[in-house]
A and B are shown apart, each in its own frame.
Chain A
Amino acid sequence: MKRLFKQIVAVMTFAMVLAGCGSGSADPDASQSSPQANQDRQVVLAAPRDLTPGEKDGYYSSLILQVWEPLVTLGADGSPQPALATGWDMSEDGKEWTISLRDGVAFHDGTDFNADAVIANIERVRQHGPKTSPFYTLDASKTYPGLVSVDKVDDHTVRLMFDEPSPSAIQRLTNFGSPMVSPDCLDENGDFSTHVQGTGPFRITDHVTDQYTILEANDDYWGDTAQVSSVKVLSMPSADSRASALRSGEIQGVLDIGAILPSQAVHLTESDEFVASSRPSTISHFMMVNQSREYLNDPRLVKALSLAIDRQLIVDELYDGYGVASANPLNASELGYIQDKVVYDLPEAKDLANQVLGDQRLSLELLVPQYGIDRYPYKEQAEYIQSQLSELGIDMAITILEGSEQTKRRTEGNFDLALHTQGMPDGDPVTMLKVFMGPNNGGCYSNEQADQLLAQASVELDEQKRMDLYKQLQELALETRPTIPLLHDDYLIVHHRDLEGYDATAYGVTLSTMHWAG
């Protein structure tokens, strides 16, 4: 008898130990505090990806966590605005830029932000670059093309010397173009030895890959300090999980590109428990066409593909109006953007397709990146395109691939069609246009006129002439279709009504002004 009970008790205790670790231990951070000090209560947010890729990443963490700050940021109209740099001016010949730096700013580890720190950051990118990252590649040849030297004028002024006129050098330094981190947190090959020590309103105190990042407010921030003392940012790849975490009160808000699907935002904000906030974003959505493949090298078929897709319908129905339908590869919030009138003409598309294919059916493969499904309605978008293309006599198979695998297949030219998002790395329109019209644009598009215009625009000193060159480039793109742009989306976030001061910006959220409702 005794032995049997002993066995049962053993099984029970073993199970209790296991289940014990399963019993809900109270979450230490969410300590319920008295009303007036409730700003100490930790805010929990979720993003579709890990916003802190860590030490091997060029930036360590994303700009939107406001841990590190750039020299220059982007204004609403797409023009450069002062951040850590207070002002800048260009020499007559456009080869020399003098930048004045903000005074009285310190990194989180206490070291001063001054000319030497800026030079160290720029040298880091030039020597150890390019540094890959899920955000943007930190690459000196893209951010400072033709940079000869950078030297210190005084403690708070630096001068950049270029070997050719660089009128849009400052645009290229916006946001991800110029991350300023403390030189002491970098190791010998330009990677991070500790959490990134930036100058921003938040500092990182803890991080577990693919799970969460914890931010604490930086009390001696040069600007107005953050209103909440602690933020926990979870990494939740699946859109359904983020929506259901909002509904269950597990998180108070979402952030980063593709934070919430438009349809989920519409549904969540039906009740007044949740509030949505959106602004035109710097992200555009494309359908890349491999114009080296048979039939796809025929511009008529590419035009047919473009005409067969009702972009306005996609924006209104799948993105619930959060976005701008457009065939222009340049992002809507970019300098010199021309708002084009989208054309949807299925009959003409059928006619064009018929001219190219005759009555035989063409089978193609559309590559859909997994991040597209996690952040955007790419699944419905793909199936919509599938049904439209079947009207043109094209049987399209949908293949879902991990982001990195899809990028590899695109760079190898091993694809027919591919849905793809492209952010605006910096304020310079030429960078963006080069991605699609430049030499290795992955779509095997080549056009001398485009190359010529691009070369001119990057050195043209006169601003008016530069804007005119941008206009010609966009018209050329609309005419020759290097790729099939679909829309520029809105940066859309949703948060619980208990959280105030939490709004969308062109690229990110207002983390520092966020606070608990009174």
Chain B
Amino acid sequence: MTTPLVAMHDVNIRFNTTRGWGYAVTAVSADVRANTVTAIIGESGSGKSVLGAAVMGLLPNNAEASGSITYAGLELLGLTDREWDQIRGIELGWVAQNPASSLNPVYRIDELISEAAIHRRRIRRRDKRRFAADLLTKVGLPAATGRNYSFELSGGMAQRALIAVGIGLDPPLLILDEPTKGLDPANYDRIRDAIMDLAGEGHTIMLITHDVTLAEQVADEIWVLYGSRLVEQAPKQDFFATPLHPYSQGLLAAMPSRGLHPIPGESPSFFVPPEGCPFVDRCPYAVAACHELKTPSHPTEGRSVLCLLH
């Protein structure tokens, strides 16, 4: 069992909004093992992006996080700004969701890629172009892209440039938030290959995506989030072979390769604190006890599921 790089224990995150408390992440406990690709899948609003942001310490200031998230043993929740600045970029790499608005339009791509390295005196300003060129080729982009601005790149190119920016300081942990969203098939494959190369080079990757097919192709571990709770966690083969949680089964049934069967019913409201299994209203096997279900069960080694059936 490789040592866990990121260990989450009973993580709760809620937002203080004008319409009262919003519950984004509830009682999530799970580990991300080093040198693995962990895919965190779930529909939008299930809390997966918030979890990613929490690991990076980039939650908006109306968010309240509790529980514990450790990175290589270091407790992240509660770090001061200065302490965060020491590990962000170097230890934790972040590749945001939409590249068009995450690349500052005022600077050229090579500046964006190399500014962190220059700031930390890893390279001198003179080497900026060469440093950026290496990273760009690594993500499959021509070196000349460095002289362009973000608004001059296509969606796919921007996404790969964003990845180049994220891996600038070669951080051990990389968090990718919806890297394939809105990409045409050609770019989709290039991004998928880029992710697999990164994993190959020894980066630990947390892949936040709603794209189950992508998870199937690149991930080693699968987390399923629904209604702000971690309903299932399992190694990829076991998950896709025998999904345990009814929501997981519904999720796989909805995949194009398996017949696009939609899951009936509504996903739970963001403002209602989740009691028991969040899928209870839409679960064909739901029973009264499901409402009180608190702790996930561990049917086999390395798997957990929040469901009375197992």
* A binding-site residues for B, Cβ under 8 Å: 1-2
Contact = CB atoms under 8 A, between A and B. Distances in A.
Contacts of B119: 1
A2 B111 CA distance: 10
A52 to B, nearest CB: 57
A2 B114 CA distance: 13
A2 B118 CA distance: 11
A432 B271 CA distance: 96
5 contacts: A1-B111, A1-B115, A1-B118, A1-B119, A2-B125
Contacts of B111: 1
Interface string B134-148: 000000000000000
Q: Which 3 A-B pairs have the closest CB atoms?
A: A1-B115, A2-B125, A1-B118
A1 B111 CA distance: 8
A317 B118 CA distance: 78
A2 B119 CA distance: 11
A1 B125 CA distance: 10
A1 B118 CA distance: 10
B271 to A, nearest CB: 42
Contacts of A1: 111, 115, 118-119
B123 to A, nearest CB: 13
Nearest to B106: A4
Interface in B110-127: 111, 115, 118-119, 125
A8 to B, nearest CB: 14
Nearest to A1: B115
A2 B125 CA distance: 9
Contacts of B125: 2
Nearest to B125: A2
A404 B74 CA distance: 86
Interface string B90-122: 000000000000000000000100010011000
Nearest to B108: A3
Interface in B51-95: none
B129 to A, nearest CB: 14
A282 to B, nearest CB: 72
A1 B104 CA distance: 13
B286 to A, nearest CB: 57
Contacts of A2: 125
B219 to A, nearest CB: 37
Nearest to B118: A1
A5 to B, nearest CB: 12
Nearest to A2: B125
B127 to A, nearest CB: 14
A191 B286 CA distance: 113
Interface in B124-165: 125
B108 to A, nearest CB: 10
A2 B115 CA distance: 10
Nearest to B111: A1
